[in-house]
Chains A and B, each alone.
Chain A
Amino acid sequence: MPELDVEVAGVELESPFVLASGVWGESGASLARALRAGAAAVVTKSVCLEPRPGYPNPTVVELPIGLVNAMGLPNPGVEAYGEEIAEALKPGKPVIGSIFGRSPSEFCAVAKKMEGFGVHALELNLSCPHVRGAGAELGRSPLLTEKITRAVKGAVEVPVFVKLTPNTASIASLAKAAERGGADGVTAINTIRAMVINLELSRPVLSNEFGGLSGPAIKPVGIRAVYEIFEAVRIPIFGVGGVSSGEDAAEYIMAGARAVQVGTAVYKEREQTFRQLRRHLSRLMTRLGYESIEEMVGRAHGGR
């Protein structure tokens, strides 16, 4: 049996499969449920200083190729999130706190609180594609990415990952900026800006008009992004975007990811998702002759 355990910037994972931010993460009990169902770690919903209700519905559109969503970063605010983290920590696996803010100082304030709640690492959401003044609006600037990363790194002890936006000319330059700012790793990608129009009603479906595309449709974009980032930086990479099979995960790992995050697939397969993914990957590794994840990381990069 191949070894599935892997370590990402000091975070020990029993398998490469981590629950992505935004899915099941509003409540600690749901995060704990994902961990008990086999997720190696979870990333929380993105949390900020004050409570946010998010956008009115419709917030999600289902398509044959994936989902388009604009939830609007709803979260109860960092103060109220402590009890959720406490629940999420119960299964005894790593919990990665996703945070966002509108300035470096806001990021730091939330980061310190989250660290105080006991998270094992932080993920800076610099990539949400549909909220004004936050997410990708900050994170598409290499300068701001570096600045925010440096500020948070100066404020906390736990590893800091930066989640990067694909809605940019060069995601690799954002990864480099994160690395310069001291990031322990990067997460790539977030959803791709997208829109769905209903023909009968001749209007956009989402209340926010545009949102982010996730699921199988964006996997090739994620693979390309991870491949480019792997060439550009030394820090480890979480691959995200359309992972719903062991093959998908292996593709990300060969592109250069050390682990993958799973989001949209969870709503199809529910509890079974993580165990199925582990089984698929294990079988695939046996077939391809790999004994550990480590051996596979970046293998698609010929000469490296």
Chain B
Amino acid sequence: MWRTATGSIQASRSDGGNDNGRGVARGKGPLHAGNRTTLRVVRITGKRRETPLVTVLRYFDSSPASPGQFVMVWVPGVDEIPMSLCHIGPLKGIAVHVKGEATEALAGLEPGDRVGIRGPLGRGFEPLPGRALVIAGGTGIAALSPLIELLPKKRRHTVVIGARTASELLFVKRVLSAGAEVVLTTEDGSVGMRGMATDAAEELLQRGGYARIYTCGPELMMRRVAELGAQMGIPVQLSLERYMKCGIGLCDACAISGLHVCTDGPVVSGWTALTLSEFGKSRRDASGRREKL
């Protein structure tokens, strides 16, 4: 009923600082943080179908955001769901992948319609120096796009965008215009390399020259990426996704081995992720019951 619509929910501290997701420190608490995390109503100002499955909605909100942060989006009368921001400037954007009731309602909104917003929430990607390999599975590219645009431009970064089939590849032009080398993979081979994003990533890593890895996509894919990074000694930042309710680190619905995806994440270091026994293994449903990934 309520899942994140994009490949992943993302986040970062908007109060500066990031310790690669190892720590849990937070800045000023929401009770004192003015209206960044309190609910406010915004109007949809733009809507664009990007792929047959993904619609991008835009709204104006001047709150500062980091790449990888997320917002809780309230569709009145339906649900409130976490959505990663695919545009982090004042004209913000969310990429809606229809998966259930709430995302269907969200994708059905038109410019002028109103939704409730809380956020930007959580801790996001930290654009660090060094040549980057970015690995996006499915709609994971939505959260990674604003990061790619912020990466230091001195080196040519490589972005692997993987999807099931050619028509589902998202934000390819956008990433190209950010100046990155783009490698496409499709599971059906309809365009680019046939296979998974991780297959391409392994080849690229063999070639060498990467100082950092950023990834967002299915958890099993990210687990593979985290392991590759650990083997090769390359720091990884990845974005976790879990069932989310309060969004502010209170209710424990999004807990993964004691880490709260909504506030300690969603972006954590690959190292941190690999210490979580539930990472790539299990998640919890709405009642908190564990289910296998």
Contact = CB atoms under 8 A, between A and B. Distances in A.
A63 to B, nearest CB: 7
Nearest to B2: A57
Nearest to B26: A270
B24 A201 contact: no
Nearest to A25: B252
A272 B246 CA distance: 20
Contacts, number: 145
Contacts of A32: 258
A147 B252 CA distance: 32
B249 A27 contact: no
Nearest to A214: B250
Given A57-B79, A62-B37, A269-B29, A29 B287 contact: no
A69 B246 contact: yes
Interface residues of B, number: 44
Contacts of B74: 57-58, 205
Contacts of B249: 267, 270
Chain A interface residue number, banded = 35 or more
A80 B116 contact: no
B251 A26 contact: yes
A23 B76 CA distance: 26
Contact of A75 (B2, B38, B116, B288): B288
B61 to A, nearest CB: 14
B133 to A, nearest CB: 31
A154 interface: no
Interface string B250-268: 1111010110100100000
Contact of A71 (B245, B285, B289): B245
B82 to A, nearest CB: 9
A27 B258 contact: yes
B31 A200 contact: no
Given A52-B287, A58-B74, A71 B251 contact: yes
Interface centre among B38, B118, B251, B286, by most chain A C-beta atoms within 10 angstroms, is B251
Contacts of B285: 53
B39 A26 contact: no
A4 B193 CA distance: 64
A45 B252 contact: yes
B258 A30 contact: yes
Contact of A27 (B72, B79, B116, B255): B255
B31 A60 contact: no
A57 B245 contact: yes
Nearest to B276: A29
Given A57-B80, A77-B287, A26 B250 contact: no
B288 A27 contact: yes
Interface in B68-91: 72, 74, 76-77, 79-81
Interface in B155-183: none
B25 interface: yes
A106 B248 CA distance: 32
Interface centre among B24, B252, B290, by most chain A C-beta atoms within 10 angstroms, is B252
A279 interface: no
A20 to B, nearest CB: 11
A54 interface: yes
A205 B284 contact: no
A155 interface: no
A32 B252 CA distance: 13
Contacts of B1: 56
Interface in B182-216: none
B131 interface: no
Contacts of B26: 268-270
Contacts of B245: 54, 57, 59-60, 71, 74
A25 B251 CA distance: 7
Nearest to A87: B258
Nearest to A33: B258
A92 interface: no
A54 B258 contact: no
Nearest to B285: A53
A104 interface: no
B232 interface: no
Contacts of B289: 51, 76-77, 80
B17 interface: no
B247 interface: yes
B253 to A, nearest CB: 6
B129 interface: no
B153 to A, nearest CB: 35
A67 B32 CA distance: 13
B288 A74 contact: yes
Contacts of B30: 62, 267-268
Interface of B: 1-2, 24-26, 29-32, 37-39, 41, 72, 74, 76-77, 79-81, 114, 116, 118, 245-253, 255, 257-258, 260, 263, 284-290
Given A26-B255, A71-B245, A203-B76, 20 more contacts: A26-B253, A26-B284, A30-B258, A30-B260, A32-B258, A45-B252, A58-B39, A60-B245, A60-B248, A64-B31, A69-B246, A69-B251, A74-B286, A74-B288, A76-B289, A200-B114, A201-B116, A215-B31, A267-B248, A272-B25
Interface of A: 22-27, 29-30, 32-33, 45, 51-54, 56-64, 66-67, 69, 71, 74-77, 80, 83, 198, 200-201, 203, 205, 207, 215-216, 264, 266-272
**Nearest 8 interchain pairs by C-beta:** A268-B29, A29-B258, A53-B286, A57-B80, A26-B252, A51-B287, A76-B289, A26-B288
